[in-house]
Amino acid sequence: MANLDTPGPDATHQRPEGVSDLTVEALGKLSEALEVVENARGFLYNFHRLTGTADLNLSEAEELFRKAGHTEIADRLVSDIIGRNVIEGRWTFQIMEDYDDNYYSEFKSFEKEARDTLVEGKRHLFEAEMKEDRRTKGRKHHEALPPEA
């Protein structure tokens, strides 16, 4: 049986010399917050897709109302609901662009700058150290690194 006791994280996931536990913890919390923002951004894109799909479905409803002889309802659907802004002056794509340009991109840039400044740009140091602490060395499926290709 092969020796499964691997040496630990690769160089890209090892703490640079002199970096404190608190710095690694703070960067881990910043990374965790970015993950939440990434998730929120995904919900925002989902909101965009769902709202757009609903708006396109309304055109089918309008057509069916007309065929059923409900022209007044079809006319109101076209004039009041189809193509309506979801937030004053904005469709969902405009909300997404504003979020991306004024929050998401700034957050992502800040997180990278903090890593570049404090830990040579290394990512997920907190998690890499957590993995090293929690894995059972020498056990299959607990290796520090993926197998060599």
Q: What is the pLDDT of residue 146?
A: 86
Could you give the CA distance from residue 92 to residue 96 in angstroms, rounded to a whole number?
A: 6
Cβ-based neighbour number of residue 142 at 10 Å? 14
Is 5 a domain residue? no
* Inter-residue long-range contacts of 142-148, CB under 8 Å, 24+ positions, other chains counted: 142/4, 143/4, 143/6, 144/6, 144/7, 144/8, 144/9, 145/6, 145/9, 145/10
- Number of domains within the chain: 1
12 lies in some domain: no
- Copy the structure tokens of residue 147: 């197998």
pLDDT for 6 equals 66
Is 109 domain-assigned?
Answer: yes
Q: Per residue of the chain (149 residues), what is the pLDDT tens digit?
A: 344 556 788 889 999 999 999 999 999 999 999 999 999 999 999 999 999 999 999 999 999 999 999 999 999 999 999 999 999 999 999 999 999 999 999 999 999 999 999 999 999 999 999 999 999 988 888 888 888 74
Angle between helices 21-67 and 105-119 (to 10 degrees): 160
Asked if 86 and 95 count as a contact pair (C-beta separation under 8 A), the reply is yes
3-state secondary structure of 91: coil
Does 17 map to a domain?
no
Inside any domain, residue 35: yes
Query: What stretches of 1-149 show up as alpha helix (H) in DSSP?
Result: 21-67, 71-76, 92-99, 105-119, 125-134
Residue 44: inside a domain:
yes
Task: Give me the domain span that covers residue 105.
Answer: 25-58+85-120
Look at residue 31 and tell me if it is in a domain: yes
